[in-house]
Amino acid sequence: MPLTKMSPLLAKARNEKYAVGSFSVANMEMVLGVLKAVEETKSPAIIQIAEVRLKQSPLELIGPLMVAAAKNCSMPVAVHFDHGKTKEKIQQALDIGFTSVMFDGSHLPFEENAAVTSGIKKTASLYNADCEGEIGCVGGSEDGSEDIAVNCTSPEQAKEFYEKTCVDALAVAIGNAHGNYKQAPKLRFDILEKTAPLVKVPLVLHGGTGILPDDFRKCISLGINKINIATATFDSVQANVRKCYTEGAINGYYDLQAAEVEGAYLNAMKHIEIFGCAGKGIQ
Pairing between β-strand 45-50 and β-strand 77-84 as defined by DSSP bridges: parallel
Q: Alpha-carbon distance 177 to 175, whole Å?
A: 7
Burial class (CB in 10 A: 0-12, 13-18, 19+), 51: buried
Q: Report which of 270, 267, 262, 218 is spatially closest to residue 244, judged by C-alpha positions.
A: 262
Q: How far, in Å, CA of 79 to CA of 84, rounded?
A: 14
Which residues are identified as catalytic?
Answer: 82
CA separation, residue 162 to residues 157, 166, 180 (Å): 8, 5, 29
**137 with 207: CB under 8 angstroms?**
no
CA–CA separation, 101 vs 80, rounded Å? 6
Nearest Cα to 29, choosing from 271, 241, 210? 241
Distances from the Cα of 148 to the Cα of 61, 139, 227, 229, angstroms: 30, 5, 20, 18
**Per-residue CA distances from 96 to 127, 210, 211 (Å):** 11, 32, 33
Q: Residues 263, 237: contact at Cβ < 8 Å?
A: yes
